[in-house]
């Protein structure tokens, strides 16, 4: 039997003391100690630090916490859409007809390389969120700072999270071409919390690369 060949792409942003944070969030703080025989580190960070997953309770303040989200939403076939040319607003028109036959979508906006916060980051509009829900998308990811515009009322988050659609934010899709992949997005199993940093990878059969 031949060896199964697959490419693995790490689309997680590195976490460090200098990682970009959303305004008002606590910055990550890591402190390493040398205990003679071993090293050990203290970690202090926000539940939405770096590449992270939002749980429904994040905006709805009720429902699933991060440890309750079924992993089946976060693992499986997905499609990366390059929406770099869409500009600031990713509308229904931008994604219409591009998500057929898939339940997990990642949006490549061109913001993967941004290391400082900018208020003009690309985000979904309410009509686009409704379109995703209508098409039963169960996981949406984006490489910008939030799925929703900086000045907002929470409607996009609430629309998605209230309809069993997990949200992954602050991905690094800079080296990922548009196409079909398998996503594995694993949050920490933090009991009762509203979100978690996550390690997110994409898998692709070499024959489809």
Q: State the maximum Cα–Cα separation within the chain, in Å, rounded to a whole number.
A: 59
Specify if 39 maps to a domain: no
Structural domain harbouring 158: 6-13+47-208
CA pair distance 164, 125, nearest whole angstrom: 18
pLDDT surpasses 80 at 4: no
Any catalytic annotation for residue 58?
yes
Specify if 70 maps to a domain: yes
pLDDT tens-place string over residues 89-142: 999 999 999 999 999 999 999 999 888 999 999 999 999 999 999 999 999 999
pLDDT tens-place string over residues 154-193: 999 999 999 999 999 999 999 999 999 999 999 999 999 9
Q: What is the pLDDT of residue 197?
A: 97
pLDDT surpasses 70 at 207: no
Specify if 28 maps to a domain: no
Specify if 40 maps to a domain: no
**197, 183, 196: which is closest to 74 by C-alpha?**
183
Q: Among 21-30, 76-85, 162-171, 200-209, which is the least confidently predicted range? A: 200-209
Confidence tier at 208 by pLDDT (50, 70, 90): low
DSSP per residue over the chain, as a string? -PPPPEEEEE-BPP--TT----TTSPPPEEEEEE-SS-EEEEEE--TT-SSEEE-THHHHSSS--GGGS-GGGTEEEEEEEE-GGG-SEE-HHHHTTSSTT-SEEEEE-S-TT--S--TT--EE-HHHHHHHHHTT--EEEESSS-SS-SS--SHHHHHHHTTT-EEEESB--TT--SEEEEEEEEE---TT-SEEEEEEEEEEEGGG-
pLDDT tens-place string over residues 194-203: 999 999 999 9
With a pLDDT cut of 90, the percent of the chain lying above it is 91
Q: Among 24-38, 63-77, 194-208, which is the least confidently predicted range? A: 194-208
How much is the mean pLDDT over the chain?
95
Specify if 24 maps to a domain: no
Cβ(143)–Cβ(187) under 8 Å? no
Work out the burial of residue 95: count CB atoms within 10 Å of its CB; fewer than 13 is exposed, 13-18 middle, 19 or more buried.
buried
Work out the burial of residue 82: count CB atoms within 10 Å of its CB; fewer than 13 is exposed, 13-18 middle, 19 or more buried.
middle
Residue 180's DSSP bridge partners are: 79
Among 33, 58, 157, 208, the active-site one is: 58
Specify if 41 maps to a domain: no
Q: What is the pLDDT of residue 115?
A: 85
pLDDT surpasses 50 at 1: no
CATH code of the domain in which 125 resides: 3.50.30.50
Q: What is the pLDDT of residue 2?
A: 53
Q: What's the predicted TM-score (pTM) here?
A: 0.94
CA angle 180, 183, 185 (to 5 degrees): 160
User: What is the count of structural domains for the chain?
Assistant: 1
Cβ(81)–Cβ(178) under 8 Å? yes
Q: What is the pLDDT of residue 142?
A: 98
Specify if 80 maps to a domain: yes
Cβ(100)–Cβ(79) under 8 Å? no
Specify if 103 maps to a domain: yes
């Amino acid at each position: 039997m031949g060896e199964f060949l697959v490419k693995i792409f790490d689309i997680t942003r590195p976490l460090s003391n200098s990682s970009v944070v959303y305004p008002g969030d606590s910055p990550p703080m890591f402190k390493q100690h040398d205990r003679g025989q071993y090293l050990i580190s203290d970690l202090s960070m926000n539940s939405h630090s770096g590449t992270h997953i939002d749980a429904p309770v994040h905006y709805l303040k009720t429902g699933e916490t991060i440890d309750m989200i079924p992993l089946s939403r976060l693992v499986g076939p997905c499609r990366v859409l390059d929406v770099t040319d869409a500009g600031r607003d990713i509308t229904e028109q931008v994604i219409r007809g591009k998500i057929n036959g898939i339940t997990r979508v990642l949006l490549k906006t061109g913001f993967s390389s941004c290391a400082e916060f900018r208020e003009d980051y690309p985000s979904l509009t309410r009509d686009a969120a409704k379109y995703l829900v209508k098409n039963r998308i169960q996981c949406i990811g984006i490489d910008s700072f939030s799925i929703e515009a900086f000045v907002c009322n929470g409607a996009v988050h609430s629309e998605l999270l209230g309809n069993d659609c997990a949200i992954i934010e602050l991905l690094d899709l800079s080296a990922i071409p548009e196409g079909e992949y398998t996503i594995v997005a694993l949050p920490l199993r933090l009991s009762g919390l509203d979100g978690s940093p996550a390690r997110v990878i994409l898998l692709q059969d070499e024959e489809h690369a």
